[in-house]
Structure formats: C-alpha cells, structure tokens
Amino acid sequence: MGTFSNGFGLMRQSWRVLRADKELVLFPIMSGIAGVVILCSFALPVALTIPWGELGQKNGGHIRMNVFYYLAIFSFYLVNFTVMHFFNSALAACVLERFRGGNPTLAFGFKTATTRLPHIVGWAVLSATVGLIIKGIQERVGLIGNIITAMIGIVWAIASYFVVPVLVAENIGPIDALKRSGQLMSKTWGVSLVSNMGMGLVGFGLGVLVILPLLAGIPLCIAATTESSGINGVMLGGGIACIVLSIIGMLMLALVMTTLKAILNTALYHFAVQGTAPAGFDDAMLRQAFRTKKKK
C-alpha cells in the first residue's frame, strides 16, 4: 500500500507542476489535432490497398494483405509517430527547463524539439517498424498472435519508457536512447510502473465520473423522442447538454492525464540521472522509492 500511496503522491506533485505551467497542456492538444488530421489523410489511401473483394473468401474470412497495404500502414505510423514524438519532446523540454529553474515557453519547447528532429524521426522509424511487426503478427497468427503481440507491446513500452526525455536531454540517436532508457528503467522500474498505475487508477475514477452525464443523457434523448405526444424539447435539450458536458469532460481529462504522465515521466528521468528531486517534487519521497527498488 505504501508503494501505491507513493505513486499517488508523485501524481499530486505532477499536478502542482502543471498548475504552475498550465500552457503545457497545449502540447497534447496540438498533438491530438495533428493526429486527427493525419488519421483522416491516411484513411482513404489505406482503404484503397485492402483487397475488399477477397473478404470472407479466404482463410476463414482472414485477408492476406499485400505489400502496398503494409507500406501504407508503415507510412501512417511513421508520420503519426514523428508528429507525436515531436510534441512530446517539446513538452519534455519545457518540463526539464522548469526543473532547472527556468521559465519555459511554447516557443522554447518547439525550438528544442526542432533541434532534436533528426533523432525524433529516427525514433519514429524504429517505433513504426516495431508497430508494423506487431500488426503483421496479429493479422497472420490469430489468437496466439494477439498474446505474443501483447507481450511484445508490454516489453516495448517498458524498455522505451524514458526514450523521449533521453532524446531531449542527452541529444543521442534512437538506438542509444533506447539502450539508455532500458538502463534507467532497470534502475527505476518499480517507481515508474507503480506511479503510472496509481495515475491510471485516478484517471479511471475520474473517467467514471465524467461519463455519468453521458449515461444519463442518452436515455433522456431516447425518452424525449419516443413520447406519444411528440418530442419533448426540454427533455431533449437536457439530454443533449448532458452528452456534450460528458464529451467535453472526457476530452479535458484525457489532455490533463496525458500531460501529467509526461511530467511524471520526465521527473523520474531527472531523479534517476541527477540523484535529486526536481523542483516541485519531494526529494524524500523519490529517494525512499528508489531505495526500496535497490533493496530488492
């Protein structure tokens, strides 16, 4: 319980950092908008590479995709990961600058990420390759493939946990950054994983709260449009308002939790490298957690 309590405490400290630099949440917003644009841009090209005429005719309904499909998927992964890692790097740069006592701006984050762009693209190529391999296994092996790819995904997520702050702070290539991330994770994995689990539990609890208006709004809309006397405008308006409120709440929650995760990730990296807690974080809490890991 103490470990989980420590994780919740670190999340609260991440929240204090976000309150001091509220503009940090703009990076996930811009990343999300760019991601939607990229998804829409690749939807048609990917769809055109799928042999729809073979659907249900081979391998019990499974389609063996052609090389053009995988090229389109790889291109989508590459562009999407490049943009996502770019914004994540800009966010990490701002957090690191705040930890050093500076007062970072959006321009500072973008400038730093731009100087790391060759490494960011290299990391995107590596990420896209791994993603394509996982997708290929899933589509060709079925249930066993899903189990294998789930295990690969977990290992990859753990090994690459610190890659973004490493790319930003140490300005090294993607392979070296992955090795460095693995070294740091072997040193901090107990703190890193439990902290993220604690943050995930909080996010789940808040998610349940923000989805409640949606669960109330949908029945209201249905009831308002099925009354024998006609549409009930008041009930329909209330249902729509509940749905809109819930959607806005879910979007805001996702943005805040994404930013908090990036702050915590960067704080753990800072402590693992520097040996002292960054500004806004409790040194004793981090030091106790790292000592616990070393004793094991």
Domain boundaries, the chain: 2-295
What is the pTM (predicted TM-score) of this model? Answer: 0.81
In this prediction, residue 1 carries a pLDDT of 45
In this prediction, residue 97 carries a pLDDT of 92
In this prediction, residue 24 carries a pLDDT of 92
In this prediction, residue 228 carries a pLDDT of 67
**pLDDT, tens digit only, all 296 positions of the chain:** 455 566 677 778 888 888 888 899 999 999 999 999 999 999 988 888 877 766 555 554 556 677 888 899 999 999 999 999 999 999 999 999 988 888 889 999 999 999 999 999 999 999 999 999 888 887 777 677 678 888 888 889 888 989 999 999 999 999 999 999 988 887 766 555 666 666 777 778 888 899 999 999 999 888 888 766 667 788 889 989 999 999 999 888 888 888 988 898 898 888 888 878 887 787 777 665 555 444 44
In this prediction, residue 3 carries a pLDDT of 52
* Six token digits for residue 275: 């040996």
3-state secondary structure the chain: CHHHHHHHHHHHHHHHHHHHCHHHHHHHHHHHHHHHHHHHHHHHHHHHCCCHHHCCCCHHHCCCCCHHHHHHHHHHHHHHHHHHHHHHHHHHHHHHHHHCCCCCCHHHHHHHHHHCHHHHHHHHHHHHHHHHHHHHHHHHHCHHHHHHHHHHHHHHHHHCCCHHHHHHHHCCCHHHHHHHHHHHHHHHHHHHHHHHHHHHHHHHHHHHHHHHHHHHHHHHHHHHHCCCCCCCHHHHHHHHHHHHHHHHHHHHHHHHHHHHHHHHHHHHHHHHHHCCCCCCCCHHHHHHHHHHHHHC
In this prediction, residue 203 carries a pLDDT of 78
In this prediction, residue 197 carries a pLDDT of 67
Burial of 76 (0-12, 13-18, 19+ CB in 10 A): buried
